Amino acid sequence: MPSPSPSRSRHRAGPALFAAAAAVAGLLLAGLPATASQAAGQETCRPDGLYRTPGVNVPYCSVYDSAGREKMGADHPRRVIGYFTGWRTGKDGKPAYLASDIPWDKITHINYAFAHVDGGNRLSVGSDTAKNPATGMTWPGVEGAGMDPDLPYKGHFNLLNKFKKQHPDVKTMISVGGWAETGGYFADDGTRVDSGGFYSMATHADGSVNQAGIETFADSAVDFVRKYGFNGVDIDYEYPTTMKDAGNPLDWSFANGRRAGLVKGYAALMKTLREKLDRAGAADGRHYLLSVAAPSSGYLLRGMETFQVQKYLDYVNIMSYDLHGAWNEHVGPNASLFDDGKDSELAAAGVYTTSQYGGVGYLNTDWAYHYFRGSMPAGRINIGLPYYTRGFKNVTGGTDGLWGKAPSTDCPAGSGLTKCGDGAVGIDNLWHDLDTDGEESPAGSNPMWHAKNLEKGIVGDYVTDYGFPADTKLTGTYARKYDATLVAPWLWNAEKKVFLSTEDEQSVKAKADYVADRGIGGTMVWELAGDYAWDAGRGQYVPGSTLTDTMYDTFKSASPYGAERATIDMPAEALDVDVAFGEFPLGDSNYPISPKLKITNNTKTALPGGTEFRFDYATSAPGNAKDQSGWGTSVIRSDHTGANVGGLKGDYHRVSLRLPAWQSLAPGASTTVDLVYYLPVSTPSNWTVSFGGKTYALAGDLARGTTVVEPGTGTPTPTPTPTPTGSGSPSPSPSPTDGTGQCAAPAWDAATPYGGGITVSHEGHSWKSKWWTKGEEPGTTGEWGVWQDLGAC
């Protein structure tokens, strides 16, 4: 894949605003251990595809129903997850957004942003002081912000738990990391400590997994959620990708040297967290959630292999925003739902004209959703919506700025860029960060309530809080534009040549309908403080819940989300055959994407030559996957073909590949296949393996309702397939009989390919193949031919 500039994350805030956070003594909010009878039935509530911690009776039914769907309240069949940030305290003279401002009845989950990885590899929110927003700060005289005296800590954590008592269906998650604190953290005085954060906690400098650091972090995470009453942990690691110079430039000194081991460290981190949270949950009688904020950019995901951590997650929150912004010159939407075939960044990279891509544009929410749908049920995926803008100034070309250009070489200090986009500033950049020189970082970043005031020509009375004079006048008109194909609104100021990508009721309603129609789990919002409402008394837009209300109103009557991953009937019996994708070339060398598929037979029975494997992979990549190992890999069904303008039409391509006829796979043995595909996909799923006239699922798919068996131990029930399996039973061949006329083996068929060791019946005899064959009639190949005569039957 060509390498467009990596999309930046939304998780940013000025350093002065991160000056606090810490863990102090708290209250263990946990239930009682599950009874034996409860534990025995917990598997019925496990979500499809979720990893089972060995030897642990996880109390899934405390969170999920008998269909594996999350229980969120009668009027919440879909998730509305809001990030609530710790730094909008009002103590800096800017408007506050406190727990009392959250629309508690309209949401299902709150992610508190952010905790960090401290210098000792522990989860932390800083030192225990009265200035700590998380655990020590108070807001005397602020309506709704009085502390709960029954809790031994104050701050945001106190208020979150106070309101959870009133809204017990709402779950809270502690989010760790973010753009600014993935590779370091902010000390109590607001200075950034370049500690290495996730990068060094999970991965040694030589690229090996730092399991000791991971264990320390995971243990501290369990202690933290118990201490402060959280329902789980949300990991915002930005980014464990092999793409060079991805993530915060301040972290590159830690990240770049470790790129080859970041994915492996990430997987070890998530597995360890899953297992420790499960063990804690079993002891506490409650299931603790684990989620991540995941990239949506095809560029970043190309360097994350097949996102192998999905199986450890209760759900994934896709950061389907920051798809265009002032890190490069291409002027486009922050978070379009669909591709329109005109994205100037993709066009410049040859995506629309390179045949292997199939015209699939990969910088949009629909593409990102389908990437994850390839490995997860729709209900374990939540799409991200931004309650903030991205924008440019001095835009030339395009249609009202859309797909125009705004190049600049005046890039923010510390950005690592020599060429960038000309980001909007001043009144068009209210929520800006500061660069490493302490200057305004041009980005066109504004809360939606400010964008709505710009659209209406209103100078809000809050501008003085952000350093603007009370008599500030707007220049030009901010005309609202909307592209129905992209599902993207924006403001265009023709006089200033300013483009601000926005969200409003029309786009959010369309995205909510998209979620409801496709069975998607829900939405995630960065961040709640950017939503708006109209204040008639003040004659301006103010922080509110209009967009969140729109999602709630759409979702409350929606059907239950999609809880099953497969779209075809899958076998109930599964074999312990492991499949793993590995040995990916790193970073920009990984095009075309060319991993090795390793198949390991953990059963006690040899898999004969001709054994057929099938799997689904996401339509985020075109249906042109192939192998370079002579396995005859082919796509046998595609749910989508062609470009993706207006959205991908289906979820999967189904692939068939066969163990070569001359090769059987003994118990405990492994074999590898060199695969090639052309856009990123998450871990392929819905695997089947067919031989001996029977089709099995694979245990590693973690599907609900399957039983792991040894092949041939039960009564085989042939499973019809669209094409012949080309394989037979690996069990011992029958002994010759005296010719009863009742042949047990399947009849030989001239059109069927047979691998070695397969028994058939023909002309009253049983015959066993010595190697792969097709069309060679038993009884005609001679003593030294392919068919061995086992005698009359």
Q: Report yes or no: 507 and 64 within 8 Å, Cβ to Cβ.
A: no
> Residue 670 pLDDT > 90, yes or no?
yes
> Residue 721 pLDDT > 50, yes or no?
no
Q: Report yes or no: 624 and 635 within 8 Å, Cβ to Cβ.
A: yes
Both 186 and 296 in a single domain?
yes
User: How far, in Å, are 612, 647, 731 from residue 615 at the CA level?
Assistant: 10, 23, 25
Both 580 and 675 in a single domain?
yes
The domain in which residue 318 lies consists of 15-137+167-323+364-387+503-533+545-555
- pLDDT tens digits for 767-786? 887 666 778 888 887 655 67
DSSP state at residue 450: H
- pLDDT tens digits for 646-661? 999 999 999 999 999 9
| Domain CATH number, residue 694 | 2.60.40.290
Both 747 and 697 in a single domain?
no
477 in any annotated domain: no
> Residue 609 pLDDT > 80, yes or no?
yes
| Domain CATH number, residue 132 | 3.20.20.80
Q: Report yes or no: 611 and 665 within 8 Å, Cβ to Cβ.
A: yes
Considering only residues 655 and 16, tell me which one the structure prediction assigns the higher pLDDT: 655
Residue ranges with strand state E in 552-608: 573-575, 577-582, 596-601
Q: Which residues contact 264 (CB under 8 A, 6 or more apart)?
A: 203, 207, 209
Q: Facing residues of 577 across strands?
A: 601
What's the token pair of residue 76?
A: 């919440």
> Residue 563 pLDDT > 90, yes or no?
yes
Alpha carbon distance, N-terminus to C-terminus of the chain: 58
Three-state secondary structure of 377-420: CHHHEEEEEECECEEECCCECCECCECCECEECCCCCCCCCCCE
- pLDDT tens digits for 474-491? 999 999 999 999 999 999
What's residue 771's pLDDT? 65
The candidate with the shortest Cα–Cα distance to 335, out of 347, 314, 318, is 318
Both 671 and 741 in a single domain?
no
Considering only residues 23 and 576, tell me which one the structure prediction assigns the higher pLDDT: 576
**CA 305 – CA 9 distance, rounded (Å):** 19
The candidate with the shortest Cα–Cα distance to 364, out of 388, 383, 390, 389, is 383
437 in any annotated domain: no
- pLDDT tens digits for 415-470? 999 999 999 999 999 999 999 999 999 999 999 999 999 999 999 999 999 999 99
> Residue 35 pLDDT > 80, yes or no?
no
Both 216 and 90 in a single domain?
yes
Both 694 and 738 in a single domain?
no
> Residue 1 pLDDT > 60, yes or no?
no
The length of the chain, given as a count of residues: 793
What's the token pair of residue 134?
A: 């998380």
Q: Which residues contact 139 (CB under 8 A, 6 or more apart)?
A: 89, 90, 96, 98, 145
Q: Within its chain, how far is the Cα of 75 from the centroid?
A: 25
User: How far, in Å, are 40, 733, 780 from residue 741 at the CA level?
Assistant: 49, 17, 20
> Residue 10 pLDDT > 60, yes or no?
no
Got the DSSP string for 113-150?
EEEEE-TTS-EE-----TT-TTTT---TT-TT----TT
Q: Report yes or no: 451 and 389 within 8 Å, Cβ to Cβ.
A: yes
| Domain CATH number, residue 772 | 2.10.10.20
Both 675 and 741 in a single domain?
no
Residue 408, Cβ neighbours under 10 Å: how many? 18
Mean pLDDT computed over 103-111: 98
> Residue 235 pLDDT > 80, yes or no?
yes
Q: Report yes or no: 682 and 310 within 8 Å, Cβ to Cβ.
A: yes
**CA 195 – CA 250 distance, rounded (Å):** 11
What's residue 535's pLDDT? 98
> Residue 722 pLDDT > 50, yes or no?
no
353 in any annotated domain: no
Considering only residues 729 and 38, tell me which one the structure prediction assigns the higher pLDDT: 38
Handedness of CA 266, 268, 272, 275 (dihedral sign): positive
Mean pLDDT computed over 211-225: 98
- pLDDT tens digits for 755-769? 666 888 888 888 887
Tally of domains within the chain: 3
419 in any annotated domain: no
What's residue 23's pLDDT? 27
State the angle between helix axes of 546-555 and 505-517 in degrees (0 to 180), rounded to the nearest 10. Answer: 30
Q: Per-residue confidence at 742, pLDDT binned at 50, 70, 90?
A: low
Residue 545, Cβ neighbours under 10 Å: how many? 20
Considering only residues 743 and 532, tell me which one the structure prediction assigns the higher pLDDT: 532
> Residue 381 pLDDT > 80, yes or no?
yes
Classify 680 as helix, strand or coil: coil
Residue 777 identity: E
464 in any annotated domain: no
Q: What is the layout of strands, in order, in the sheet containing 626-627? A: 577-582, 596-601, 670-676, 626-627
> Residue 521 pLDDT > 60, yes or no?
yes
Residues of the chain above pLDDT 70, percent: 90
What is the model's pTM?
A: 0.87
> Residue 668 pLDDT > 70, yes or no?
yes
User: How far, in Å, are 87, 332, 358, 605 from residue 166 at the CA level?
Assistant: 24, 42, 51, 57
The two most distant CA atoms of the chain are separated, in Å, by: 106
791 in any annotated domain: yes
Rounded (10°) CA dihedral 697, 701, 705, 709? 50
In terms of DSSP H, where are the helices of 7-111? 36-40
> Residue 271 pLDDT > 80, yes or no?
yes
Q: What average pLDDT is seen over the chain?
A: 91
**CA 220 – CA 204 distance, rounded (Å):** 20
Both 249 and 311 in a single domain?
yes
Both 64 and 188 in a single domain?
yes
37 in any annotated domain: yes
The candidate with the shortest Cα–Cα distance to 233, out of 260, 207, 198, is 198
Both 525 and 646 in a single domain?
no
Classify 608 as helix, strand or coil: coil
336 in any annotated domain: no
| CA angle, residues 480, 333, 396, in degrees to nearest 5 | 75
Got the DSSP string for 227-240?
HHT-SEEEEE-S--
Both 649 and 755 in a single domain?
no
Q: Report yes or no: 738 and 726 within 8 Å, Cβ to Cβ.
A: no
Q: Report yes or no: 442 and 460 within 8 Å, Cβ to Cβ.
A: no
Both 702 and 781 in a single domain?
no
**Domain final residue, candidates 708, 741, 764:** 708
